[in-house]
Chains A and B, each alone.
Chain A
Amino acid sequence: YGIPFYLQYLVHWPEYFTVAEAPGGELMGYNAAVLMLSVFTVMGKAEGSVAREEWHGHVTALSVAPEFQRLGLAAKLVELLEEISEKKGGFFVDLFVRVSNQVAVNMYKQLGYSVYRTVLEYYSASSGEPDEDAYDMRKALSRDAEKKLIIPVPHPVRPEDIE
């Protein structure tokens, strides 16, 4: 992502920005200026209308440096994001993931997310050509006790059809 992308998120949803650091001194000392190189980050946002029961949290970017994988950090970071979204009164949390990224899909499933729908050709290559489909995965928050907002949609949708 470019700098503007990060700045935009910092302006709108600063509370959804989390960076974790390890005890080892070699990992400290990164500040906002070199955010992208820091160890693990999660970014998210809240969007959608409350009246239409669409108000929700969104996992925008989640990355964990290779040396710190397999520690349950991603789970921890997603939990934080869910906690914030709960506090904001969201109905659910959602995220997009490449259908080929089995590791991530499985991880999110373990964390209680399920595939809500498939978004066709959501990802594009740097050439601009369509590249791959995405799963739109959701997890209901306590405000949607009946979990009615995460009932899977049978047909795939196009990127332009998602709000």
Chain B
Amino acid sequence: MAARGHVQDPNDRRLRPIYDYLDNGNNKMAIQQADKLLKKHKDLHCAKVLKAIGLQRTGKQDEAYALAQEVAALEPTDDNSLQALTILYREMHRPELVTKLYEAAVKKVPNSEEYHSHLFMAYARVGEYKKMQQAGMALYKIVPKNPYYFWSVMSLIMQSISAQDENLSKTMFLPLAERMVEKMVKEDKIEAEAEVELYYMILERLEKYKEALDVVRGKLGEKLTSELQSRENKCMAMYKKLCRWPECNALSRRLLLKNSDDWQFYITYFDSVFQLIDESWTPPPEEEHSLEGEVHYSIEQAVKFIEERITEESKSSRPLRGPYLAKLELIRRLRYRGCNDEYKLGDPEELMFQYFRKFGDKPCCFTDLKVFVDLLPSSQYTKFISQLLAVIPLSAAAEGELALPSDIKALQQHLCVVQLSRLLGIYHAMEKKQKLAAVRELMLRYRHGLEFGKSCLKTELQFSDYYCLLAVHLLLDLWLEGEETAVWQCLTLLEEGLSHSPSNAQFKLLLIRIYCRLGAFEPVAELYSSLDAKHIQHDTIGYLLTRYAEALGHYAAASQSCNFALRFFHSNQKDTSEYIIQAYKYGAFEKIPEFIAFRNRLNSSLHFAQVRTERMLLDLLLEANISTSLEESIKSMSLSPEEDDIPWNDLRDNRDLTVLFNWDPKDRDISEEHKKLSLEEETMWLRIRSLTLRLVSGLPTLSHTIQPKNSEKTAENGVSSKIDTIRSLLQQLEVAVDSGKKFLEQKIQYPVLGPPPTRMAGFFSNGSCQCQTSLFYLVSDIYELDTNGLEDSAEIQERIGNSFNSLVERLTDLFNKCKGDLIEVRDGTLKTHPSLLENLVFFVETISIALWVSSYCDSVLRPFKSNMQKKKKKKKESSLAMPPVFTHFLDYVAELQTLTSNVIDHIRGLEIILSALKLEELSLKDTLLLEEEKKFTKTVQGKVQSSYHHSVQEIGELLKKRLDTIKKLKI
């Protein structure tokens, strides 16, 4: 608990035991103790608050809130109560109440520095920038300390950042902030580095780059000392903004002289040289070239400068990559401008070869050279590769055997060449037979390379891991070309690799992707958890799990993976607010907009919106009308059909779609276009899912017992607006479905390791989309029947009857799309059919919606029926015929029951087939597999089999529960 002042206060002594109980998590005792104390000291408000904290922590939120408001209404000014209330409100996630609390406190104690500062922080927590500005100034008036003044200035900047109107921000908030700082500058009151940083930030945002430059270069700039090269970096940024190329050039040149390995300055150096050439810049006569000294403004000078860096490098104790890469970069730029050979920089092929000789044993050599391979003509690829291979010291044990590296350096060099070969498309161009031979060779090299890593710790990677990964990539190519066995070999080799290098995330990620593609989620959960994904990674790579878990019927795992992500997103909100406040306290002003941008980025994450939506759909699927009623479930999620909390226009795709290594040539690699399309697809699918969720959440709002005759009354109490909402959502759903279908017409094929496609295609093709929309139309019809009554509604009743019939047909069709073996053995190899599994999951979801709609229908028909029965009894007539809708409904429910039972039987059949599948009998004839490998193959096939078994079990269980709910529908 927070520190408490004034030890002398007798109240402190009295309260102490309660604090202790709370600190120790003994909330019940804390409440009791507070009650005891309150009996004696009625006015000890803080005891009430502490009791409220105890109540809050024991789940009695309403009582806690009431008690807290009782105290708050008294506008307390004692530290204990204020701090306790602050803690309580924070735990209630009601930070806005803290501001009210301190607003009242500063009114009563207007000169309290402490309360004003608490008020400022309370505003900061909720982002009330305008009020922060005022609170900061009020503080400064009470105690003229610089930080307070600058809190106020920073609040102005925050107002400008958050202002929707950019004009307002540029003409009002920022100029005001600037004037406030200028005032302090004039009065010579600037004290801290943070204040100068803030000044710079304002000028930069105002695009007053000249002024910003003057500040950094002037006396105030001398305060910028904490960060290394802080002044230089800021000057450089301003020179760039001002297009002051002479200064850019001179400064980057100077910084490169100091450190010739800093890549960013090479880029600026080249940019500026070519800008100056294009402007035909010449140095002013008899003056300094620029503010920053000597300027290079010709290609000759640039060439000479880079050559000098290389000469210098040869004298350095540590080999530096920068100068050599800079030379290649210069060639690239010269070529781009249409001039290359005349400057005698050398042949890029030769230079890259030399680079390889110098740095080939470093693991980064590949990524360095990757940047420049487009300098090579494609006709030279093979020659280039052989040239590199020729200089690697490899030796064969005997004639005709594979020449192998004898140390790590040689291995590293060889690996670099293999990676380059893949990048240059050499492997892609091979025939099947050659590819298989290459796989063999890579695996041999992989296993041989393990001997260098015998002393590696478990947390370290094996030196030869990439060989294995590259072999798997080759096999993946073969698989996509139709070679069914190749995918099992992929899994086999990856599992083997993982057994030697248990921390290799790439092995795990690729295993995850492949298992998912085969429809086996069970092994994935374990692999993912061993990746030990943390925090932000739930956002960046969580999609690997959430795309498949539910889709493959692993409901429990799906819940869990959504929970991981949601926990992270929710805590982000709280954590970042805390540190935004800290940033004010410690004057780290430039971090505040960054933290806020970070928080916003996470809050508008696509993945966040997806897991939110899917989690709720899943909960309904698993629970609604099974363990709790649909109505209660929806209420507990605070769902309402009107509310849409997804920031559609600001959705941010934080997925890391390149988390898996790959060495594919550009034309096969994941492109920006793929990423864009994938985001588009994900957003469409999310829209469909979110609308489905909202439509379902609208069902209970319709189904309260309405007396058919007073329909005017229902219009008053808002139910008719509810149906309007549903109808409008249904229309939106149709639009979303249409655009989804249009999108899919493009038939986009993402690269195999690229973004996984959504479930949308399956949703359309298996017919569940049509079923689900028809179901929501049915809701609209039933509502109409409800308001019109049974008489004079023959047409509606007939329509409903037809809907029932066509729904049964469609659901039966959907079931037919689920039929077939999930795993089949063909020619001695296994083939899985994940789409059947996905269809089955869609069936369960669709039948669940059908049953929720049926129970709405039931709730409408039941009162009609009891009314009729009453009438019958009164009139003692048997002539009152049953309206057709009753029979239709009963038939429909019976059909649903039969269908569901059939599916359950089908699933039982699948279970039996899956258990009977004898993998040991698979011959694994493929001569490519070694005995050792066969062992791994059996393991992976076993995993896949077991996963499918698990899937059908979970799906079957759920469907059985759904079947039970049908029995309640017999009106």
Do the beta carbons of B225 and A3 come within 8 Å of each other?
A: no
Query: A4-37: which residues lie under 8 A (CB-CB) from chain B?
Result: 4, 7-8, 10-12, 14-15, 21-27, 32-37
B79 close to chain A: CB less than 8 A: no
A160 close to chain B: CB less than 8 A: no
Q: What is the distance, in angstroms, from A5's C-beta to the closest C-beta of chain B?
A: 9
Contact of B537 among A7, A23, A36, A83 (CB under 8 A): A36
Do the beta carbons of A15 and B598 come within 8 Å of each other?
A: no
Q: What is the distance, in angstroms, from A27's C-beta to the closest C-beta of chain B?
A: 7
Q: Quick one: CB contact mask for A116-145 with B, threshold 8 Å, 1 for yes?
A: 000000000000000000000000000000
Do the beta carbons of B536 and A68 come within 8 Å of each other?
A: no
CA distance A25 to B579 in the complex (A): 32
Q: Cβ of B367: which chain A residues have Cβ within 8 Å of it? A: 22, 24, 26-27, 67
B588 close to chain A: CB less than 8 A: yes
A60 close to chain B: CB less than 8 A: no
Given A10-B588, A12-B586, A72-B318: A32 touches B362 (CB 8 Å cut-off): no
CA distance A34 to B657 in the complex (A): 13
Do the beta carbons of A33 and B654 come within 8 Å of each other?
A: yes
Q: Cβ of B579: which chain A residues have Cβ within 8 Å of it? A: 4, 7-8, 10-11
Contact of A23 among B263, B575, B598 (CB under 8 A): B263
A52 close to chain B: CB less than 8 A: no
Do the beta carbons of B601 and A33 come within 8 Å of each other?
A: yes
Contact of A69 among B321, B363, B540, B578 (CB under 8 A): B363
CA distance A138 to B594 in the complex (A): 33
Q: Which residue of A lies closest to B459 (CB)?
A: A101
Q: Cβ of A8: which chain B residues have Cβ within 8 Å of it? A: 579, 582
Given A14-B590, A24-B371: A37 touches B537 (CB 8 Å cut-off): yes
Q: Cβ of A2: which chain B residues have Cβ within 8 Å of it? A: 534-535, 575
Given A24-B370, A34-B540, A87-B225: A7 touches B363 (CB 8 Å cut-off): no
Q: Quick one: CB contact mask for B554-583 with A, threshold 8 Å, 1 for yes?
A: 000000000000000001100110110011
Q: What is the distance, in angstroms, from A124's C-beta to the closest C-beta of chain B?
A: 16
Q: What is the distance, in angstroms, from B586's C-beta to the closest C-beta of chain A?
A: 5
Q: Cβ of A35: which chain B residues have Cβ within 8 Å of it? A: 536
Do the beta carbons of B598 and A26 come within 8 Å of each other?
A: no
B313 close to chain A: CB less than 8 A: no
CA distance A148 to B863 in the complex (A): 91
B183 close to chain A: CB less than 8 A: no
Do the beta carbons of A14 and B227 come within 8 Å of each other?
A: yes
CA distance A83 to B228 in the complex (A): 8
Q: Cβ of A23: which chain B residues have Cβ within 8 Å of it? A: 263, 325, 329, 368, 371
Do the beta carbons of B368 and A36 come within 8 Å of each other?
A: no
Contact of B461 among A15, A33, A66 (CB under 8 A): A66
B440 close to chain A: CB less than 8 A: no
A80 close to chain B: CB less than 8 A: yes
Interface size on A (CB < 8 Å)?
Answer: 38
CA distance A71 to B579 in the complex (A): 35
A155 close to chain B: CB less than 8 A: no
Interface size on B (CB < 8 Å)?
Answer: 47
Which of A7, A14, A21, A83 gathers the greatest number of chain B CB atoms within 10 Å? A7
Q: Which residue of A lies closest to B461 (CB)?
A: A66
A84 close to chain B: CB less than 8 A: yes
Q: Cβ of A69: which chain B residues have Cβ within 8 Å of it? A: 363
Query: B363-382: which residues lie under 8 A (CB-CB) from chain A?
Result: 363-364, 366-368, 370-371
Q: Which residue of B lies closest to A14 (CB)?
A: B588
Contact of A22 among B368, B535, B583 (CB under 8 A): B368
Q: Cβ of B586: which chain A residues have Cβ within 8 Å of it? A: 11-12
Q: Cβ of A36: which chain B residues have Cβ within 8 Å of it? A: 534-537
Q: Cβ of A103: which chain B residues have Cβ within 8 Å of it? A: 457, 460
Do the beta carbons of B656 and A37 come within 8 Å of each other?
A: yes
Query: A82-111: which residues lie under 8 A (CB-CB) from chain B?
Result: 83-84, 87-88, 100, 103
Given A23-B325, A32-B594, A37-B537: A70 touches B363 (CB 8 Å cut-off): yes
Identify whether the interface residues of B are mostly helix, strand, loop, or mixed: helix
Given A14-B591, A69-B363: A3 touches B536 (CB 8 Å cut-off): yes
Q: Quick one: CB contact mask for B735-766 with A, threshold 8 Å, 1 for yes?
A: 00000000000000000000000000000000
CA distance A7 to B585 in the complex (A): 14
Do the beta carbons of A67 and B364 come within 8 Å of each other?
A: yes
CA distance A36 to B538 in the complex (A): 12
Q: What is the distance, in angstroms, from A140's C-beta to the closest C-beta of chain B?
A: 21
Q: Cβ of B226: which chain A residues have Cβ within 8 Å of it? A: 14-15, 84, 87-88
Q: Which residue of A lies closest to B361 (CB)?
A: A70
CA distance A84 to B576 in the complex (A): 27
Q: Which residue of B lies closest to A27 (CB)?
A: B367
B602 close to chain A: CB less than 8 A: yes
Q: Cβ of B363: which chain A residues have Cβ within 8 Å of it? A: 66-70
Do the beta carbons of A34 and B536 come within 8 Å of each other?
A: yes
B355 close to chain A: CB less than 8 A: no
Do the beta carbons of A22 and B364 come within 8 Å of each other?
A: yes
CA distance A145 to B263 in the complex (A): 35
B886 close to chain A: CB less than 8 A: no
Q: Which residue of B lies closest to A46 (CB)?
A: B226
Q: Quick one: CB contact mask for B575-619 with A, threshold 8 Å, 1 for yes?
A: 110110011001010110011011001100000000000000000
Q: Cβ of B406: which chain A residues have Cβ within 8 Å of it? A: none
Q: Cβ of B590: which chain A residues have Cβ within 8 Å of it? A: 14
Do the beta carbons of B536 and A33 come within 8 Å of each other?
A: yes
Q: Which residue of B lies closest to A23 (CB)?
A: B263
B901 close to chain A: CB less than 8 A: no
Q: Quick one: CB contact mask for B506-549 with A, threshold 8 Å, 1 for yes?
A: 00000000000000000000000000001111001000000000
CA distance A103 to B363 in the complex (A): 17
CA distance A66 to B226 in the complex (A): 30
B162 close to chain A: CB less than 8 A: no
Do the beta carbons of A15 and B325 come within 8 Å of each other?
A: no
B731 close to chain A: CB less than 8 A: no
Do the beta carbons of A3 and B575 come within 8 Å of each other?
A: yes
Q: Cβ of A37: which chain B residues have Cβ within 8 Å of it? A: 536-537, 540, 656
CA distance A80 to B457 in the complex (A): 28
Given A66-B461, A72-B318: A11 touches B575 (CB 8 Å cut-off): no
Do the beta carbons of B228 and A11 come within 8 Å of each other?
A: no
Q: Which residue of B lies closest to A72 (CB)?
A: B318
B354 close to chain A: CB less than 8 A: no
Do the beta carbons of B535 and A3 come within 8 Å of each other?
A: yes
B434 close to chain A: CB less than 8 A: no
Do the beta carbons of A34 and B228 come within 8 Å of each other?
A: no
Query: A53-83: which residues lie under 8 A (CB-CB) from chain B?
Result: 66-72, 80, 83
B658 close to chain A: CB less than 8 A: yes
Do the beta carbons of A25 and B598 come within 8 Å of each other?
A: no
CA distance A26 to B419 in the complex (A): 15
Q: What is the distance, in angstroms, from B782's C-beta to the closest C-beta of chain A?
A: 47
Which of B571, B578, B590, B598 gathers the greatest number of chain A CB atoms within 10 Å? B598
Do the beta carbons of B364 and A7 come within 8 Å of each other?
A: no
CA distance A15 to B227 in the complex (A): 5
Q: What is the distance, in angstroms, from B958's C-beta to the closest C-beta of chain A?
A: 33
Q: Cβ of B572: which chain A residues have Cβ within 8 Å of it? A: 3
Q: What is the distance, in angstroms, from B950's C-beta to the closest C-beta of chain A?
A: 27
CA distance A83 to B329 in the complex (A): 31
Contact of B228 among A15, A25, A27, A71 (CB under 8 A): A15
Q: Cβ of A14: which chain B residues have Cβ within 8 Å of it? A: 226-227, 588, 590-591
Q: Cβ of B575: which chain A residues have Cβ within 8 Å of it? A: 2-4, 7
Query: Given A2-B534, A10-B594, 13 more contacts at CB 8 Å?
Result: A7-B575, A7-B576, A10-B579, A10-B591, A14-B226, A15-B226, A24-B370, A33-B654, A36-B536, A68-B363, A71-B321, A84-B226, A87-B225
A-B contact pairs, 14 of them (CB 8 A): A1-B534, A2-B575, A8-B582, A10-B583, A11-B583, A11-B588, A14-B226, A15-B227, A22-B367, A26-B370, A33-B601, A36-B535, A66-B363, A83-B228
Binding site for A on B (CB under 8 A): 225-228, 230, 263, 318, 321, 325, 329, 362-364, 366-368, 370-371, 457, 460-461, 534-537, 540, 571-572, 575-576, 578-579, 582-583, 586, 588, 590-591, 594-595, 597-598, 601-602, 654, 656, 658
The 3 A-B pairs at the shortest CB distance, nearest first, are namely A7-B579, A15-B226, A24-B367
